[in-house]
A and B are shown apart, each in its own frame.
Chain A
Amino acid sequence: MSRPGWISFLIGIALGMAGGLYYSWILSPVEYVDTAPDSLRADFRADYLALIASAYASTGDLVRARTRLALFPELDPSSELAALAQQRLAAGLGQAEASALAQLAADLDRQPQSPASTATGLPSSPTTPTTRPSPSSTPRPTPTPGAPFSLASQEQVCDPRLSAPLIQVEVADAASGPVPGVEVIVVWDAGQDHFFTGLKPELGLGYGDFSMAEGVSYTLRLAESAQLVTDLTTHPCEDEDGSTYLGSWLLVFRQSP
């Protein structure tokens, strides 16, 4: 092909590609229809996960919740739901949602998926009708309503592995089983905050903690209990080298039998 011939050919390619892109981007741009939940934008995805947790909080159907979460193949449910609960709590969003997320995260961690639970609980594709399982009446795990929690022990903790002094809370039921999703309220002279047990499942389903500042006196109570634990302040600890650091508190609450 002569040089002018090549130029014509290249101009043609450029025109063809320009025309193709004009058609695909301007005249007939992509429309997102019939998408799946895993393609949702991050904020919608967070809302969707929170909705799964809220529905689970209502029905107690872990199989269905698990099936819904399976729509997000890259999701690490227990840790991501716990993190999402903390984010929502920190952002001042719904406490009920945060509690539901924490509860679902804890329950997923506590009850590993069994082969039977892979049965679909979701709507089938439009072409393959499937009968949905009805929400089961499986009783939800703890916390058990009605029975109050009381402080079983309170001790100072000197643990040099902790990066900051903490108020560590462990909540157990009457059978000494950990209780996730319990709201803990912390008050001090300049403010207040709250957290839930079960948000750090790797440390125990009934575990929750709060970072203390030096020189501040904290008062703590469980949202479901009127019992106050007062005068929680940092205290000096000494490590093996003789250097001092700030110590923590460990509070154990137990449900009355």
Chain B
Amino acid sequence: MSTHLPRLLLGVLVGAFIALVYGWLIRPVEYVDTSPDSLRIDFRTDYVLMVAESYASDKNLNLAQFRLAALGPQPPDVYATQAIDYALEQSFSRSDLELLNQLAIDLRALPRPGEIQAP
């Protein structure tokens, strides 16, 4: 046992090394078939801005909600708010901010799921 254990441990180390070289260098992870919810914050913000630009023209809030739903399970106005925060941080133009703001306002005006409306 005493002679086998060092060899076994050496094998484990070599095996782990091979696995890491294979996984990191020979065949590293390729990002394919991802969904919009994994987009980087700047791309997500631009995605929301595109929705806002389109919404400014067609005024189709259902379509805007549908598009924003691709960004994840949260209510659509959350994504609009996040986009505004990033846009402010990155000094987006005033017109872009207005588009995002208008979309956020209109989305917030919608009743949340499960919210009981007054008769």
Q: Could you list which residues of chain A lie within 8 angstroms of chain B, going by C-beta atoms? A: 1, 4-5, 8-21, 24, 30, 32-37, 39-42, 44, 47-48, 51-52, 54-55, 57-59, 68, 71, 94, 96, 122-126, 129-135
Contacts and interface: CB of A to CB of B under 8 A. Distances in A.
A134 B95 contact: yes
B19 A11 contact: no
Contacts of A21: 19
A49 to B, nearest CB: 11
Q: Name B's interface SS.
A: helix
A50 B47 CA distance: 11
Given A15-B15, A39-B34, A57-B54, A30 B8 contact: no
A77 to B, nearest CB: 16
B51 interface: yes
Nearest to A56: B53
Given A13-B14, A20-B15, A132 B8 contact: no
Contact of B31 (A35, A68, A122, A123): A35
Contact of A1 (B7, B33, B92, B93): B7
Contacts of A68: 46, 50
B12 A12 contact: yes
B46 A17 contact: no
Instruction: Give the 10 A-B residue pairs with the shortest CB-CB distance, closest first.
Output: A12-B11, A16-B15, A20-B19, A58-B57, A13-B15, A123-B42, A134-B93, A16-B12, A55-B53, A55-B50
Contacts of A12: 7-15
B18 interface: yes
B67 A51 contact: yes
Contact of B45 (A19, A30, A58, A123): A123
B35 A44 contact: yes
B98 to A, nearest CB: 10
A32 B12 CA distance: 29
A126 B42 contact: yes
A42 B10 CA distance: 44
A15 B8 contact: yes
Contacts of A47: 36, 67, 70
A51 B18 contact: no
B40 interface: yes
B39 A36 contact: yes
Given A12-B8, A54-B54, A126-B40, 14 more contacts: A1-B7, A5-B3, A5-B7, A10-B11, A12-B14, A18-B15, A19-B12, A19-B15, A41-B33, A48-B36, A59-B53, A68-B50, A123-B45, A126-B42
